Amino acid sequence: MAKSEYVFQRVEDQRELERLRMIEQVFDPSSRRRLLSTGLKAGWRCLEVGPGAGSIMTWMGEVVGPTGQVVAVDLDPKFLSEAKRTNLSVIRADIRTAQLPEQSFDVVHARYVLIHVPEYETVLNRMLGCLKPGGWLVLEEPDFSASRGIEGTAEQLAAVGKINHAIHVMFERLGMDYALGQKLQALLLARGLQSVTMELDAPYSAGGSEMATIMRMSTVQLREKYLATGAVISEDLDSYCRFADDPKSRAIYYATIAVRGQKVEG
Ligand SMILES: C[S@@+](CC[C@H](N)C(=O)[O-])C[C@H]1O[C@@H](n2cnc3c(N)ncnc32)[C@H](O)[C@@H]1O
């Protein structure tokens, strides 16, 4: 299996931690609601794939309490040093090859992880294998094809389109799907999960908002990778960052598509 090509793997740490914390600030409330809707409670065993800065992992540890357990698997758990609770265990591993117990978890969750894995179908099968019969899979992945600039100067709106094209090309060259969120529901139904639900969240965001700031931060972190696609030049990236900071601008930066489904009993 090829070495992981996770696009944020070699970016600057402090900025990456800030970016991950902002993602948590914006998206944790919806993720918590979705996880609670599975019945998540004291005593459950949870698998968190790609915990990033770890807020969902830590929160699930609080919900499941001392009689439950949370196992987290991340390629590089460098931001998880504070995770010292006894019911949390962190495994440094690639989810494509990690040794995980079969039929062992009540819930398996990943947010913004499968989009970074070309072999997402294999990973999905492994995640399902880890679930107990009756256990829940909760996935939340982006759909960058939903992106569009709405209000801004002509130059800024053109830059939004170009940066989004660069994101498409970057993921495509790595064998990844920048619109993966769109496929999630079909992937779960094809695997026989029951009670499958889907939600789409495509916020209409002002410049300077948390969403715009997350995307500006990603652009700073991935600047060289976007330039390497040939789809953008430096001026486009600068224009995009000004757009993302401008309170008069409006855009849909991407959509998050979330699915939830239950593994069939017995
Ligand atoms: C964009 S971050 C999302 C972090 C967190 N899930 C969140 O939404 O706040 C992606 C995370 O997945 C991890 N990751 C990426 N590819 C992985 C792989 N093949 N195996 C395990 N973890 C991976 C990264 O190290 C990172 O922590």
Residue 194: other Cβ atoms inside 10 A: 12
Which residue's alpha carbon is nearest to atom 19 within ligand 1? 94
Q: What is the CATH number of domain 13-262?
A: 3.40.50.150
Spacing, Cα 50 to ligand 1 middle (Å): 3
Spacing, Cα 207 to ligand 1 middle (Å): 26
- pLDDT tens-digit map of 87-132: 999 999 999 999 999 999 999 999 999 999 999 999 999 999 999 9
Task: Enter the pTM of the model.
Answer: 0.96
- pLDDT tens-digit map of 149-189: 999 999 999 999 999 999 999 999 999 999 999 999 999 99
- Give the residue, out of 19, 73, 97, 116, with the most ligand 1 atoms within 8 A of its beta carbon, to mutate for a pocket test: 116
Spacing, Cα 232 to ligand 1 middle (Å): 26
129 CB-contact burial (10 Å; exposed 0-12 / middle 13-18 / buried 19+): middle
Gap between the Cα atoms of 202 and 251, Å rounded: 10
The residues spanned by each domain of the chain are 13-262
Which residue's alpha carbon is nearest to atom 11 within ligand 1? 50
Q: Is the CB of 4 under 6 A from ligand 1?
A: yes
